[in-house]
Structure 1
Amino acid sequence: MKTLKDVAVGQTAVVAKLHGEGPVKRRIMDMGITKGVEIFVRKVAPLGDPMELNVRGYELSVRKSDAEMIEVV
């Protein structure tokens, strides 16, 4: 299983499945990250957290712990 955390800078991935329960999953979905959405990894902070992404035409920063809950292909 490949997660968003494993995607390298400059690559694009498509969301296959969201893991997590309740409010955590809801928050991820509220950010526009849903099944089938393309995510482009723009950059990663020097210490590895957070990641800066392009999702649905806007920029979004996500913690590595949240990125581990997003399964991609």
Structure 2
Amino acid sequence: MTLNKVPVGSTVTVKKITGKGATKRRIMDMGIVKGVEIYVRKVAPLGDPIELTIRGYELSIRKSEAEWIEVE
């Protein structure tokens, strides 16, 4: 399952990041790496962006970026 399909209020663990190059590096620089727990706080009314809590801070990412993050 990918992060963009996780319901609001759920906590998941990152399994894999499938992006490539600079995009993958940027996601990892934001603290989203294998094994990290992510709590899905909110989703905007039109589904983009998604607000997450990760490592004690809030982060908003695009739905297209969330598709590259595999979770369990």
CA offset digits 1:5-32 (Å, max 9, x no partner)? 0100000000000001110000000000
| Structure 2, gaps ≥5 residues long | none
Cα RMSD (Å) of the superposition? Answer: 0.3
| Structure 1, gaps ≥5 residues long | none
1:61, distance to aligned residue in structure 2 (A)? 0.1
Residues 1:19 and 2:26 are matched in the alignment: no
CA offset digits 1:31-57 (Å, max 9, x no partner)? 000000000000000000000000000
Identity of aligned residues (%): 69
**Distance of 1:38 and 1:7 partners within structure 2:** 13
Which stretches of structure 1, 4 residues or more, deviate above 3 A after TM superposition? none
Count residues in correspondence: 72
TM-score (norm 2): 0.99
